[in-house]
Amino acid sequence: MKVILVLVSLLSGIQGFLTDTSGGQREHYAMYVWRTGFDPNVPGCDQTDFLEWDSKHSHCFTHTWDSPERRQWLWATCNVPGREISRIFLADVHHKLKSGFQTNNCNMNDIALLKTTLTEGHTKVTNLKIFALFAASDPEVSERHMVPYVVWYNDNCADTTQEKFDGVAVNNEAYAAIKCSSDLSQRTTHLDRLQEIHDGAQRQRHGKLLTHFSISWHWGRCNGQSQPFLWRGKSLDATHHMIDIFDSIDVQVGYTTFPQISTRMSQAGMDYASLQHKDIYVTFYTDKTEPCQITFFPQVCQWTGRSESNLFAIIDQFPSNGLGHVEPCIHYFRGVYSSGGHPDWPAHS
């Protein structure tokens, strides 16, 4: 019996169960982690700089995960009790992976940094999945050429499962320009290129590399109506085709209140994703952007409730608004979520 208990304890430590800060069931939020975020620890960067949030204040933005202190800030944010994050989309990995891939060198400093970051995340946050985030956002869907970098790294450089990326996430906005194109080949070619992302991930030799894609709720619609078209034997609108391609999807609903959130999730294919057993997320913006109804940023606006507490209140209304099987996705870490740049947006560090 003692031997069994020791083994269970060791396995729990390896899998990160000892970091369960919620005292019970953890949430499963997702979160974007872009390269930089607002940092009130920079001398002179106060609430005024935060609210202006523009290029004049770029010195107030620092890398989100390049030091032990900043990574601890990230892991603490993932472990906020009752608001736990189980999936992050991690930016600024493209060139680090590309350099190693092109020289077939696993001993570079950038690769060592990735190993450290991935190991920390997997050990300090229970069951965390870390996705390499690519965002070329061009019509060529250049992200499909970046997937081999992750496959190479996982198969050649990662010495343990904890050092591996769990998936590849893509944020490509180019489809918006062709969603109503009368030239159907533009749309089907775009889908073919997206399919290459998923197919490329399957070339990993050891373990499964997941794929994730971010869509706008209206990409399958023209003039307010669903626009199905035939692609690879199925007649569906674009967002439904995209759900078929990827393992998971997050939907940019472009709204912060109900019933619009529910309506747009439905139009994007929420129920279809559930039938296909695909994870689907509602993406909420917290950074400063326009129009004001799409973000929780505390800017001058006719809309009230621009705070972290209001964001959480909306998330807590998911079950009563038909989103009980959907998870939230926060866009993004320290932008402004967990930044500490404003009393309504505390740092979870």
Give the Cα separation of 8 and 2 in Å (integer): 10
Tally the domains of the chain: 1
Give the Cα separation of 112 and 327 in Å (integer): 32
Question: What pLDDT sits at residue 10?
Answer: 36
Looking at the predicted structure, is the pLDDT value of residue 297 above 60? yes
Q: 47-61, 152-166, 195-209: which range is least confident on average?
A: 47-61
12 in any annotated domain: no
Angle between helices 68-78 and 109-124 (to 10 degrees): 30
Q: 9-13, 35-39, 181-185: which range is least confident on average?
A: 9-13
Task: Kindly give the pairing relationship between strand 85-90 and strand 129-134.
Answer: parallel
Question: What pLDDT sits at residue 299?
Answer: 77
Give the Cα separation of 114 and 118 in Å (integer): 6
Provide the H-helix boundaries in 202-259: 238-245
Give the Cα separation of 68 and 329 in Å (integer): 25
15 in any annotated domain: no
Instruction: Tell me what the mean pLDDT of segment 3-29 comes to.
Output: 50
340 in any annotated domain: no
CA proximity to 209, closest of 95, 285, 116, 97? 97
Give the chain's count of helices (H) and strands (E).
11, 14
14 in any annotated domain: no
* Mean pLDDT, all residues of the chain: 92
108 in any annotated domain: yes
Q: How many CA atoms lie within 13 A of 220 on its CB side?
A: 25
Instruction: Express each pLDDT in 46-104 by its tens digit.
Output: 999 999 988 777 899 999 999 999 999 999 999 999 999 999 999 999 999 999 999 99
193 in any annotated domain: yes
8 in any annotated domain: no
Between the two ends of the chain, the Cα-to-Cα distance in Å is: 39
Give the Cα separation of 144 and 141 in Å (integer): 6
CATH code for the domain in which residue 102 is found: 3.20.20
Range of the domain at 268: 25-331
Burial class (CB in 10 A: 0-12, 13-18, 19+), 62: middle
Whether cis (ω within 30° of 0) applies to the bond prior to 336 is: yes
Task: Judge whether 47 and 346 are in contact, CB under 8 Å.
Answer: no
Question: What pLDDT sits at residue 300?
Answer: 61
Q: Please tell me the pTM assigned to this model.
A: 0.92
Give the Cα separation of 233 and 243 in Å (integer): 15
Give the Cα separation of 194 and 232 in Å (integer): 13
336 in any annotated domain: no
